[in-house]
Copies of this chain bind each other. A is one copy, B any other.
Amino acid sequence: MKNEVKDILMQNHLSITGSRLKILEFFLEHESAVSHADIEKNTGESFDRVTVYRTLQTFVEKGIIHLIPTTDNSIKYALCKNDCAPGHHHDNHVHFICDACSKTICLDEVNIPSVKLPKGFTPQHAEMVVTGICGDCK
C-alpha cells in the first residue's frame, strides 16, 4: 500500500511528504468520495487545514483526484481511476449519491451519455449525478 502511494506521487513528479502520503492513502482506503472535512477528521488531524487544502489542490491539478458536482455546495473528491493526465481528466463516468447514507460513489463503468444540444451550443464536458439508494442501504 505504502509503495503504491509513493509510486503515484513519483509518477506525478511530486515530492514525497508526510501529508501527501497520508492523504493519498486515505483516498485509496475509501472507495467512496471524500470531503475536505472527512480528511481533516480521519487523518489524525495531524496537519494544518491549509496543508490539506493545498494538497487537495495539487492532487486535482495533477489529475490524481477529481471533483464531484453536488447540488448542495459540498465539495467532494475521488480518485481518478482512469488515465488522467495533468489538466486532462478523462473521468466521464456517472456519480451516484446515496440519499440514505449520503455516500458518493464513482460508477466507473457507467459512461455519461451524450445529449443533443440546441443550436449554437458547443459542448466540451459533461457531468452527471444520480441520487437514490445504493446497494448497501437497500
Binding site for B on A (CB under 8 A): 67-75, 94, 96, 99, 107, 109-110, 112-113, 115-135, 138
Contacts and interface: CB of A to CB of B under 8 A. Distances in A.
Copies in the complex: 2
23 contacts: A68-B71, A69-B71, A69-B129, A72-B75, A73-B73, A73-B75, A96-B121, A107-B117, A109-B118, A110-B115, A110-B116, A110-B118, A113-B113, A115-B128, A122-B132, A123-B130, A124-B130, A124-B133, A125-B131, A125-B132, A127-B129, A127-B130, A128-B128
Given A69-B71, A75-B73, A123 B115 contact: no
Contact of A69 (B69, B115, B124): B69
A132 B121 contact: yes
A135 B116 contact: no
Contact of A110 (B68, B70, B117, B125): B117
A129 B125 CA distance: 8
Contacts of A115: 94, 110, 112-113, 128, 130
